[in-house]
Chains A and B, each alone.
Chain A
C-alpha cells in the first residue's frame, strides 16, 4: 500500500498523458464507426504515420538550421495533421467507399490490408532513409519540472517529475477535444455529420451530401490522429512503424468503453484506459507479489476490452440498440 501510494503522483501524471493520447486516437475510431459502422483498422497506422511525418519534418528543420521551439512544433503539428488528414480521405476513397454495399466482412478485410500497407510503406521509407526502422527523433521540450516529495497522513509520497512536454501533450489533446466537441455539436457540418451517422438515407433526402460528410469525417479523424502521433513522438522520442497497432487496439477499447460513436465517451474511455494501464504497469508486480510484472500491461488492456464487450457492449454510458427487423 505504501509502495503504491508513494508512486501515485507519477502514475497519475503518466497515466493522464497516455490517456490523453488514447483519447484523441479513440476519437478517430469512434467518429468513423459512428458514421460507417466500420472498424477502421488503419487508424492506428494513421497515428503512426503522423509520428513519422512529424519526426521527419523536425529532422528537416534541423537540417536547414531552424531553431526548435514552440513555433516549429505548431508548424509540424499543422503540416502533419493536414497530410494525415489527406491520407485518411484517400484511404476512404480507395479502400472503403467502393465497398459500402458489400457484406460487412469485406470492408473490414480491406481495412486490415490498408493498415498493413501503411506499416510497410513507413517501414520502408524509414529504413531507406535512416538504415533502421526504429527512429529516435528530436524532442523540443526536454526540461523537467520537479514535484518534490511530500507525505500525507503518514504516508511518504515520492518525488515525481514531469517533462514540460507532458503539459504540452495534455494541453493540446484537451484543446483538440474541446474544439471537436464544439464543431460536432454547434456547427452546420458537425450537425450534418451527426445526421449522417444516425440515418444516412434520410440525411441524403434532406439534401446533405453524404459522401462529402464522410470524407470530412475521415479528414478530421485522421488529422487529429496524425497530430497525436506528433505529440507521441515528442513525448516518447523513439518510434517504430508498429506502434500504431497495439496503441490503436487500446484506443479502440477506449472508444468501446465510452460507447462507440459517442465522442465525449471516447475521451473519457481514453483517459480511463491510460490511467489503468500505467497503474497496472507500475503496480501489477506489487499486487501479485511479483508473479506478474509490467509486461502484462497489454494483456490487462485486452482483458478490459473483453470484459466491456461482454458486460457492457454499448459502453459505460450507452444503451443497447437492436437491429431493426
Chain B
C-alpha cells in the first residue's frame, strides 16, 4: 500500500529548475533512498514534501489525501517528520527540551490550564518528559538529557534530530544525509537505528545519503536524481550497475575509462 506519493512535482528558483517533474511512490513501511550528486535537487524534494517550499507544479499525497502546498506545521500534524542536512537543532535548549518540542502537536495544555497549573497539565508534562527521555534512550542519548544541544558531538546531534522527529509520532520520516560527518562506527550504529525504527514503529523511511555502503545495505528502493530529474530507480543491485547513475556521479568520461 502506498504511504506517500509525489506526482510530477516541480520547483523553480528563478531560472533554475531544482526539481523537474519528479514522481515517486513510497510504500508503507519501506525504506527508500534518494541519491544523486550535490545540487541534484534532493533536499528541495524533501522541502516540498514537508511544505517548506510549495511545488510549482504537481501533487503530493499522504495516505491518499492531498497535502500539496500545506504549511509545514500542518504537514507535521498529518504525520511527516524530518531531519535537516545542515543540522537545525534548538541550540540553546537542553537535549530533553528539544525532544519535548517535538511532542508539541500531541500536547493539549491550554492557556488557562498552564497558568493555573492544573493537575491535568502537570500530568501531561510529566508524561511528555518520560516519553522524551525514553526516546533519548532509544537513540542512545540518555546520558545527555540536561546538556545544551549545541554542546553535543556532531554524531549525537544527528541522532538528537532523529529523536526529535520521532517525538512527533510520524508515519513518514525523512532523513536528509543522516550519516554526514559520522565516523564508521557511528554510521554502523545509525544503520542499525534506522532499521530498528522501521521495525519497531512501522514508520516509512526516506533518506538522502551519500554513504553508498549505508544506502545499499538498508534501502529497498533507490531513486536517483540528477539536475532535478529522476534518472534511475530500482533495487540496490540495479542501481549499482546502472550506467546513467555512474555517469551522473562521475561524469561521462568515467564510462569510457
A and B touch in the complex (CB under 8 A): yes
**What separation, in Å, do the CA atoms of A55 and B116 have in the docked complex?**
61
CB contact between B84 and one of A319, A322, A325 (< 8 Å): that residue: A325
**What separation, in Å, do the CA atoms of A135 and B31 have in the docked complex?**
74
- Cβ of B22 within 8 Å of any chain A Cβ, yes or no, is no
What sequence of 0s and 1s flags, for each residue 30-45 of chain B, a beta carbon within 8 Å of any chain A beta carbon? 0000000000000100
Across the interface, name the chain B residue whose C-beta is closest to A319: B14
Q: Which of A175-234 contact B (CB under 8 A)?
A: none
What sequence of 0s and 1s flags, for each residue 69-92 of chain B, a beta carbon within 8 Å of any chain A beta carbon? 000000000000000100000000
Can you list 6 pairs linking A and B with CB atoms under 8 Å apart? Answer: A319-B14, A322-B53, A325-B43, A325-B47, A325-B52, A325-B84
What sequence of 0s and 1s flags, for each residue 169-180 of chain B, a beta carbon within 8 Å of any chain A beta carbon? 000000000000
Interface size on B, residues (CB 8 A): 6
**What separation, in Å, do the CA atoms of A325 and B53 have in the docked complex?**
10
**What separation, in Å, do the CA atoms of A181 and B124 have in the docked complex?**
61
Residues of B within 8 A of A319 (CB): 14
Residues of A within 8 A of B52 (CB): 325
**What separation, in Å, do the CA atoms of A319 and B14 have in the docked complex?**
9
How far in angstroms is the closest Cβ of chain A from B136?
25
Residues of B within 8 A of A325 (CB): 43, 47, 52, 84
Tell me the dominant secondary structure on chain B's binding face.
loop
Interface size on A, residues (CB 8 A): 3
Q: Which of B31-68 contact A (CB under 8 A)?
A: 43, 47, 52-53
Tell me the dominant secondary structure on chain A's binding face.
loop
Q: Which of A124-171 contact B (CB under 8 A)?
A: none
How far in angstroms is the closest Cβ of chain A from B87?
12
Residues of B within 8 A of A322 (CB): 53
**What separation, in Å, do the CA atoms of A319 and B12 have in the docked complex?**
13
Residues of A within 8 A of B84 (CB): 325
**What separation, in Å, do the CA atoms of A325 and B177 have in the docked complex?**
13
Across the interface, name the chain A residue whose C-beta is closest to B82: A325
Across the interface, name the chain A residue whose C-beta is closest to B92: A103
**What separation, in Å, do the CA atoms of A295 and B84 have in the docked complex?**
51
How far in angstroms is the closest Cβ of chain B from A303?
28
**What separation, in Å, do the CA atoms of A325 and B50 have in the docked complex?**
12
How far in angstroms is the closest Cβ of chain A from B10?
16
Q: Which of B125-139 contact A (CB under 8 A)?
A: none
**What separation, in Å, do the CA atoms of A319 and B47 have in the docked complex?**
20
How far in angstroms is the closest Cβ of chain A from B17?
15
Residues of A within 8 A of B47 (CB): 325
Residues of A within 8 A of B53 (CB): 322
**What separation, in Å, do the CA atoms of A325 and B43 have in the docked complex?**
8
**What separation, in Å, do the CA atoms of A325 and B52 have in the docked complex?**
8
**What separation, in Å, do the CA atoms of A322 and B52 have in the docked complex?**
10
Q: Which of B209-242 contact A (CB under 8 A)?
A: none
